[in-house]
Amino acid sequence: MKKQTLVSGLRASSEPHIGNYLGAIRQFLKYQELHDCNFFIADLHTLTTPFEPKELRKNALEVAADYIALGLDPKKSTLYLQSQVAEHAELAWIFNCITPLGELYRMTQFKDKTGSANKESVNAGLLNYPVLMAADILLYKAEIVPVGEDQVQHLELARVIAKKFNNQFGKTFPEPKALLESETARIMSLNDPEKKMSKTGGQGILINDSPAEIQRKLRKAVTATDATGKSKGVDNLFRLLREFGNKEQIQFFENAYQENTIKFSELKDILSEDIAHYFAPFREKRKELLNSPEYIAEALADGAEKARERARATMQEVKKKVGLL
């Protein structure tokens, strides 16, 4: 297989949940062995929703520790903080100037995040969020981007921006593709299975949750069925069991479900043990890493240095094409 350039990021809002892990991070681990990978912590994107400066700094370092503890190897991939490579913001500005507002207004995430709020008072960063994301990707001329389903529309916009730039200024960027893991691209919230599990909603199992916490959250998971007998909550629990459980457990509960003898309390308790067990080595490694923050800071500084080199080369080319000195 030809080695391709890959980029992906995680916001620094808080600790990753199992949706982030199954939808994105787990893929990163696989691809770091195959491709030229760039993974970053999207701290500039984190500024688009309410934040505390102290918390932001702490969370960014913790997300880096999470990445490394889960198996991302800073020697195999380039791992860095978005804000430490100034070219992300620089390219985003140029992209802002070729992106029609209409494209941004129709983004589902923008509509979801602004909801019924008065659009006059929404910060412009929230609207321009996908433009910065296009810059994150195209700065490295990435061809593939592993993400969860919620980011696919943003990826489409990155392709629109790449095309537009190429048409206007000459072929510069490839058109990046989203890489989706079909089964786990959208893990649902436990207490509102109509919505995706998310960091900001607080309804997710964090990968660093203690076994007791995982159990507490799972016990509250909604399993109600709709008028047609379907249940998104149940589907979601089974999806998680297929990821974290063993063959016998999966078989047992699938049969019990078919035969209508299933006890969801039992399924939830088994599943919480499985998830706690799965992430046990991660919790240990994370603790160790957070005891040596200088190692994390160093890995991030090295990563930023490497990223900057490529980012600079792209910006030189872009500025020349656009007519900037």
Catalytically active residues, by annotation: 113, 196, 199
- Applying CB under 6 A, which part among 100-108, 133-141, 204-212, 278-286 lies near ligand TRP? 133-141
Q: Is 42 in the site for ligand TRP (CB under 6 A)?
A: yes
- Contact positions with ligand TRP (CB under 6 A) in 1-20: 7-9, 11
- Contact positions with ligand TRP (CB under 6 A) in 44-73: 45
- Comparing CB distances to ligand TRP, the nearer of 8 and 236 is 8
User: In angstroms, what is the minimal distance from the CB of 276 to ligand TRP?
Assistant: 25
Q: Which does 133 bind (CB under 5 to 8 A by kind): ligand ADP, ligand TRP, none?
A: ligand TRP
Q: Identify the CA nearest to 186 among candidates 304, 313, 17.
A: 17
Among 167, 168, 200, 210, binds ligand ADP (CB under 6 A): 200
Q: Which does 196 bind (CB under 5 to 8 A by kind): ligand TRP, ligand ADP, none?
A: ligand ADP
Q: Is 79 in the site for ligand TRP (CB under 6 A)?
A: no
| Sign of the C-alpha dihedral computed for residues 207, 209, 211 and 213 taken in this order | negative
- Comparing CB distances to ligand TRP, the nearer of 11 and 286 is 11
Burial 29-40 (b: 16+ CB within 10 A, else e): bebbeebbbbbb
Q: Is 300 in the site for ligand TRP (CB under 6 A)?
A: no
Q: Identify the CA nearest to 18 among candidates 230, 130, 138, 184.
A: 184
- Of all helices (H) and strands (E), which one includes residue 320? helix 293-322
Q: Which does 7 bind (CB under 5 to 8 A by kind): ligand TRP, ligand ADP, none?
A: ligand TRP
With H, G, I as helix, E, B as strand and everything else as coil, classify residue 263: coil
Q: Is 23 in the site for ligand ADP (CB under 6 A)?
A: yes
Q: What DSSP string runs through 165-226? A: HHHHH-S-----EEE--GGGS-PBPSS-TTSB--TTTT-S-BTT--HHHHHHHHHT------
Q: Give the x/- contact pattern for ligand ADP in 127-166, rule: CB under 6 A.
A: --------------------xx-xx---------------
Q: Is 136 in the site for ligand TRP (CB under 6 A)?
A: yes
Q: Is 198 in the site for ligand ADP (CB under 6 A)?
A: yes
Q: How far is CA 10 from CA 63, 79, 257, in A?
A: 8, 11, 36
With H, G, I as helix, E, B as strand and everything else as coil, classify residue 5: strand
Q: Is 20 in the site for ligand ADP (CB under 6 A)?
A: yes
Q: Could you give the CA distance from residue 56 to residue 43 in angstroms, rounded to a whole number? A: 8
- Applying CB under 6 A, which part among 14-22, 67-75, 246-254, 293-301 lies near ligand ADP? 14-22
C-alpha radius of gyration, the chain, whole number? 21
Strands 78-81 and 36-42, by their bridges, are parallel
- Comparing CB distances to ligand TRP, the nearer of 25 and 218 is 25
Among 187, 240, 270, 296, binds ligand ADP (CB under 6 A): 187
**Closest residue by beta carbon to ligand TRP:** 9
Q: How far is CA 11 from CA 45, 65, 117, 198, 250, in A?
A: 7, 14, 23, 11, 33
Q: Identify the CA nearest to 184 among candidates 221, 218, 214, 147.
A: 147
Q: What are phi and psi of 6, to 5 degrees?
A: -125, 140
Residues that bind ligand ADP (CB under 6 A): 10-11, 13, 19-20, 22-24, 147-148, 150-151, 185-187, 196-200
Residues that bind ligand TRP (CB under 6 A): 7-9, 11, 42, 45, 133, 136-137, 145, 147, 151
